[in-house]
C-alpha cells in the first residue's frame, strides 16, 4: 500500500523541508498550504509530479480544516503519518509583565499553536484509522517545558506550547490503545518565518532539523508506550 503523509504549514521553513524530505523518500505528500502566493511548494510539485498534492489549509479555521480533510479523502483512502507543524510566534512576545500585554494576540497563538493541531487530528482521524502506521507527529518547542523554563516573557507562545503538550498527552492516552504512535518534537531555533520575517539570528537551517526529524517521525521507537518530547539533538526534554 502506498505510504501517504499529510503535513500542516508546509509552505516554507520546517514544513517545506519536511515535505521535500518525505518526497525524496518516495512518499505521497498532501501539503497543507496557507500561503498560495508563496512559490516554493508549486515549484516542488513540478519536481515531483503526481507525488505532491497542495491542499488549502488554515488550521485556525475548523471549516478550512474540514474542507482540507474532504479534499484529501477525495484523493486517497488513507493516511499513514500526520505531521502537525503549523505554528506562529508573535512580535509582541518580548513584553514583560510590566508592559501592556496583547491578549488578543495571545488568543491567536493559542488558537493556532494549540487548538490547530487538535482540529487537524479530529478531522483527519478517519483517514488515519485506515492507515498502516497510524503515526501522529507534533512540532512543539522547548518553550513548552515548564521544568526548564528560564524566560521572563513570551507568555503567549510558551503557554500555547505547554498546552499543546498536554493536548498531545490526552490524545496519547486515548489513541495509543488503538494502535496509534506519537512523536513530539522540538526542532531547535530555526531560521524560519514563524514571526512573519525570516529569523536570520537563529542557529539552525530547517534542513538541519529535518535530518533529525524525519527518522524520529518515520522510524519505530524503542518504547512506543512512553510519550516523550525529543529535540533535534536526540535529547529528551522534561515536561
**10 contacts 33 by C-beta, under 8 angstroms:** yes
pLDDT at residue 137, rounded to an integer:
99
pLDDT at residue 192, rounded to an integer:
60
Quick one: average pLDDT of 40-46? 97
Q: How far is CA 89 from CA 143, 166, 239, in A?
A: 11, 19, 20
Q: Is the pTM of this model over 0.85?
A: yes
pLDDT at residue 202, rounded to an integer:
59
Q: Is 80 exceeded by the pLDDT of residue 8?
A: yes
- Percent of the chain surpassing pLDDT 90: 88
Q: Is 90 exceeded by the pLDDT of residue 204?
A: no
Q: What is the pLDDT confidence band of residue 205, given thresholds at 50, 70 and 90?
A: confident
pLDDT at residue 198, rounded to an integer:
59
Q: What is the pLDDT confidence band of residue 92, given thresholds at 50, 70 and 90?
A: confident
pLDDT at residue 110, rounded to an integer:
98
Using the CB atoms, write b or e for 71-102: b if 16+ within 10 Å: ebeeebebbbbbbbbbbbbbebbebeeeeeeb
Average pLDDT over the chain, rounded to whole? 94
pLDDT at residue 239, rounded to an integer:
87
Residue ranges of domains in the chain, CATH in brackets: 4-237 (3.40.50.720)
Contacts of 42 (CB under 8 A, 6+ apart): 54
Q: pLDDT digit string (tens) for 119-166?
A: 999 999 999 999 999 999 999 999 999 999 999 999 999 999 999 999
Amino acid at each position: 500500500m502506498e505510504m501517504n503523509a499529510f503535513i500542516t504549514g508546509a509552505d516554507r521553513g520546517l514544513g517545506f523541508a519536511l515535505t521535500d524530505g518525505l518526497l525524496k523518500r518516495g512518499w505521497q505528500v498532501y501539503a497543507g498550504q496557507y500561503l498560495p502566493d508563496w512559490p516554493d511548494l508549486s515549484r516542488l510539485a513540478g519536481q515531483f509530479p503526481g507525488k505532491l498534492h497542495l491542499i488549502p489549509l488554515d488550521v485556525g479555521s475548523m471549516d478550512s480544516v474540514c474542507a482540507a480533510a474532504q479534499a484529501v479523502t477525495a484523493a486517497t483512502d488513507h493516511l499513514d503519518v500526520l505531521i502537525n507543524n503549523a505554528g506562529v510566534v508573535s512580535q509582541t512576545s518580548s513584553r514583560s509583565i510590566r508592559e501592556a500585554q496583547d491578549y488578543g494576540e495571545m488568543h491567536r497563538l493559542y488558537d493556532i499553536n494549540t487548538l490547530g493541531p487538535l482540529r487537524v487530528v479530529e478531522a483527519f482521524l478517519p483517514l488515519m484509522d485506515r492507515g498502516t502506521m497510524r503515526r501522529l507527529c507534533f512540532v512543539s518547542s522547548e518553550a513548552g517545558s515548564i521544568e526548564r523554563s528560564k524566560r521572563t516573557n513570551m507568555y503567549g507562545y510558551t503557554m500555547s506550547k505547554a498546552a499543546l503538550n498536554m493536548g498531545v498527552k490526552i490524545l496519547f492516552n486515548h489513541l495509543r490503545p488503538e494502535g496509534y504512535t506519537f512523536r513530539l518534537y522540538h526542532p531547535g531555533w530555526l531560521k524560519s518565518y514563524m514571526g512573519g520575517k525570516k529569523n536570520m539570528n537563529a542557529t539552525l537551517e530547517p534542513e538541519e532539523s529535518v535530518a533529525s526529524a524525519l527518522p524520529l517521525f518515520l522510524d519505530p521507537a524503542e518504547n512506543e508506550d512512553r510519550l516523550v518530547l525529543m529535540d533535534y539533538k536526540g535529547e529528551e526534554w522534561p515536561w
